[in-house]
Amino acid sequence: MSHNPLRLLLDFDDRIQRDRDQAPAFLHRRDRRFALDCQQRGQSPDAALWLEQMERLSGPGNARPAGRAVQQRWRRINGGFAAAGAVFGVLTMAGLLFYDGGQRINVTVIIAFVLLQLLLALATTVQSLAGWQPWSWLQRRLQAQPPGTTLAQLQPALMARAAHTGGSLFALTGLLTLLVMLVVQDLAFGWSTTLNTAAHSYHSLIQAIASPWGGLWPAAEPSPELVEATRFFRASPGSTGTDPVQWGQWGQWWPFVVMLWLTWVLLPRLLLLALSQWLLARKAERLLQRHPGMQALMYRMETPTLDTGNQHNDAEDLPDTRTRARPRQLQDSQYIICWAGAGEPELPQALLAQDSRVLKAGGRASLAEDDGVLESLAEKLAGERAPSVVLVTRSWEPPTGELHDFLEQARARWPDGTTLTILPLAPDANREPAEHLVQPWLRFTERLPAGFANVALLPALPDNPYHTGSTA
C-alpha cells in the first residue's frame, strides 16, 4: 500500500464509502480483530496497514485503487498545464524579444512582465492557502463527475500545483528561448519610459532588482554608464548611432535579462511548486486524521466486541466507555435537520408530521449552506413558545468536531431555551440502533452545555403480521 498522503487519503475515503453497505456489527468485529492481530505482531495499527488488510480480505481483482485513479487523472491535468506552459513560454519570449533591427528591445517592458509573473505565482499560492477556487469552471470541464467531499477539499491545492507546474515550464522554455535568441541574433537592448525618470533613478531600480546576484556576477548588474548610454526615445528613432562601441553597449544588457528571468520568474515558480506539493501532502494528512471514518475506525479498533475470536478477555484492557445518561422520549418537533446524509433515501414515517420542515447540513453541504440552515431556523424558532429541533444522525458514525462546531453556532444563534434532540438512526431506520452505537452520542451530549441537547430513539414499531407471520 502506498504511503503517499494523497493516495492514502483517497483510498481510505473510498474504502469507508464502501463499508457503509456493511452491518455495523460486522465492521466492529472485523476491525477489532485487525487491531488485536497488529498488537500480537508488535505493530501500531494505522490507515496504511488497515487498507492492506482490506485488500487482502477483498481478494484478487476486487480492490479498487481509487487513489491511483485520481492521481492518474491529475497527472494528465498537470501534463496539460505543463504542455500549455511550455508552448506559451516560447511564444511569449519570442514576442518580448521581437527585433527587426530598427528598434531596441525595451528592458522596462521585460521588467514589468516579470513582475506580473511573480504576482501571478504568489496569487496562485495565496488562493490555495485561503481555499479559493478561481479555477472552478475549469475543474468542472476537466472532471467527468463532481468530486466527493474529501476530494473537493483538496481541489484548491491540486489546482495550485497544476498551475505552478505550467508556470515552471513556462519559465523554463522562456529562458531557453532567450538563450537561443541571444546566440542566433544580435539583440539590441535599451530602456525607455513615458515617465520623467532620470537615468540615476532607473539605475537604482536596476540595482534593487539585481541585488540577489550582483555579487556573484557583476556583469549582470548594469553600470550607471550603461544605463545612461542605452536610454532611447521614441521621438528620435534616428539616434541609433553608428559607433561600434555604442552598438556594443546595446548588447551588454543580456546578462541582466537572463538573470532577471532566472531569479524572478523560474526560481520562484520552482520553489512555489515544491511548496504546493508539500502543502498538498500536509493537507491530505490532516484530512485523513480528521476524517469521520478514521474516528469510527479507531473506535471500532479500541472497543472490545462480545466475540473477538481471541482467547484473551480484553474487557479489562480498555477504559469504561459507558455513561449514566440515557436516551429520552422523542419529542415532536416541526424542524428536522439531517446531518451528513442521515435519513437517506427517506426518513422514517414515525418521525415525520404533516407540517415537518426537513433541512440538510454537514457532509457535502458547504459552510455557507450550513450557515444558511442556522440562520433560517433562528428566524423560525424566534416565534415558537417552546422551540425545539431534531437532528438526525447515523448511529454508526461517531460525533465529529464539525458537528460540535455546528451545534456551538446553533446554540449561539437560536433563541434561549431551544432544545435539541439528537436522533441516531440504525442502518434499518425503523429499528433502534445497538446500544454500543448509542453510547458515543450520549457522551457527546454530555460535553455540550447542560440542558441544550439530549439523545432520543424512535419508538418501537409493532410487529408487522406480513413480516412475522402472526395472524393476531
> Can you read off the three cell numbers belonging to residue 47?
490507515
Q: Judge whether residue 126 has pLDDT over 90.
A: yes
DSSP annotation of 316 reads G
Distance CA 178, CA 93 (A): 7
Amino acid at 403: L
In angstroms, rounded to a whole number, what is the distance separating the alpha carbons of residues 335 and 358? 6
CA gap 201, 207 in Å, rounded: 10
From the list 148, 104, 138, the residue with the least C-alpha distance to 11 is: 148
Task: Categorize the per-residue pLDDT at 430 as very low, low, confident or very high, splitting at 50, 70 and 90.
Answer: confident
Alpha-carbon distance 178 to 402, whole Å?
52
- CA–CA separation, 106 and 94 (whole Å): 14
Best mean pLDDT range from 314-328, 384-398, 424-438: 384-398
212-230 pLDDT, tens digit per residue, is 998 889 989 999 999 998 8
Mean per-residue pLDDT, 94-117: 89
In the block, which residue shows the cell 519610459?
193
What would the pLDDT profile of 240-253 be if each residue is shown by its tens digit?
444 444 556 777 89
- Lowest mean per-residue pLDDT among 124-133, 174-183, 297-306: 297-306
What integer best gives the mean pLDDT of the chain? 82
Main-chain dihedrals φ then ψ at residue 307, nearest 5 degrees: -145, 105
Query: In terms of Cα–Cα distance, which of 197, 309, 213, 193 is closest to 256?
Result: 213
| pLDDT over 90 at 233, yes or no | no
In whole angstroms, what is the distance from residue 173 CA to residue 399 CA? 52
Predicted confidence at residue 328, as pLDDT, reads 83
User: pLDDT at residue 317 above 50?
Assistant: no
Cβ atoms of 336 and 356 within 8 Å: the answer is yes
Res. 308: pLDDT tops 50: no
Over residues 147-182, the pLDDT tens digits come to 667 788 888 899 999 999 999 999 999 999 999 999
Q: Where are the domains of the chain?
A: 1-316, 328-460
Secondary structure class of 415 (helix, strand, coil): coil
pLDDT digits (tens, 9 = 90+) for 51-78: 888 888 765 554 556 667 788 888 999 9
What is the pLDDT, as a whole number, of residue 465? 43
C-beta pairs of 209-216 under 8 Å, 24+ apart in sequence: 209/111, 209/260, 209/264, 210/256, 210/259, 210/260, 212/263, 213/259, 213/263
pLDDT given at position 74: 87
